[in-house]
Structure 1
C-alpha cells in the first residue's frame, strides 16, 4: 500500500513537469525544456520502476493511472497560472471607439486599429499583442466598452519589433502606481 501511495505522489509531481516541459519546448525555450526533461526522466524511471517491480500489485497500477490523470489536471492549472508567452488578440467592434482604444493604451496594451468591411457595414478591428497573463484583463476592458465585440486570440510563435518593449512595461508600472495611489486615498 505504501508503494501505491508513493507512486501516486510521484505521478502528481511528474505529470505537471511533463506538461511544463512540453510547453517550454513548444515555445522554443530549449534550455528550460531540457532541464525539465532531465528532472522528468529521473521521476519517470523511479515511478515506473516501482510499478514494474511488482506487476501483480494492481494497486500500484491504479495509483500510477490515477496520479497521471490528476497530474494532467494539476499541470493544466500550473500552466494557466504561469501563462508563459504572448497572445495576439483581435477585437472586431461596430465603430471606432476612441475611449476604448485610449484606455487600452493607457494601461499598457499596444493597439493597432484598422477599418474593415463587415457583412453589412464598416467595422473597426483592434489588434494587440500582449503577455498571456494579461489576456483576461484585455477581454475585461473590451467587454466594459464594447460588450458585443467579436474577440479572438491566438498565440504567436515568433514576432519581431513593434510595441512589446521596455516602454510597454514602464507604462503598465506607471498605471499600477497611479491605481495604488488612488486606492490609498
Structure 2
C-alpha cells in the first residue's frame, strides 16, 4: 500500500514542481509560492514513506516510476497550459503586405523592418503573442509565406507597445464597475 501512495504522490508532485518552476521563471512568484506549500507537503510525505523502510525496494521503485511518469505528465500539462508569451522574428525574402495585414487583422501586433542580406534586402516582422496563439500564428505564416524563416523565443519581461496597451485596457474593463443606463 505504501508503494502505491508513494507512486501517486510522485505522480502529483512532479507536475506541481514543473508548473511552480515555470511560474517562478516567468515572474509569477505569488502563485508559485502558494503552490510550493503543497509541493513541500507532498514531498515530505512521499520521502518519509521511502525513508521509513529502506529495505523495501518496491517503495524505491514506486518513487522512481512515479517521478518519471510525473515528469512526462508535467511536460504535457505545461504544453496544454501555454503560460506566457512568445516573440517571433519572421524573415521574408520579399515584402508581404498581405501577410502583415492578415496578422494585424487577427489581433497580432506586428512591427516591420527592412534589412540587408548578403545579396538583397530582407524583410523582418517582429510579433509578440500569447503562447496559446502560437499554432494560429504559424498556420498563418505557413499558409501565406511558407518560405519564411521564423525564430521564436520567450521573453521574460517587456514594457510598452501594442500588447501592453491591450492588456491594460482589459484589466481596466474588468475592474470598472458596470454603469447603469
Please say which of residues 158-167 and 40-49 is displaced more in the overlay: 158-167
1:165 deviates by: 4.0
Gaps of 5+ in 2: 170-181
C-alpha distance 55-168 of structure 1, shift in aligned 2 (>3 A):
closer
- Can you list the C-alpha shifts for 1:80-106, whole angstroms capped at 9, x where unaligned? 111111111000011111111100000
Runs of at least 4 residues off by over 2 Å: 165-170
Structure 2: distance between partners of 1:37 and 1:116: 46
Aligned to 1:72: 71
Aligned to 1:36: 35
Q: TM-score, normalised by structure 2?
A: 0.89
In angstroms, what is the RMSD of aligned CA positions? Answer: 1.5
Structure 1 residue 11 corresponds to structure 2 residue 35: no
Q: TM-score, normalised by structure 1?
A: 0.88
SS of corresponding position for 1:89: strand
Superposed, 1:115-134 pairs within 5 Å as 115-134=114-133
SS of corresponding position for 1:164: helix
1:166 deviates by: 5.8
Gaps of 5+ in 1: 171-185
Superposed, 1:93-108 pairs within 5 Å as 93-108=92-107
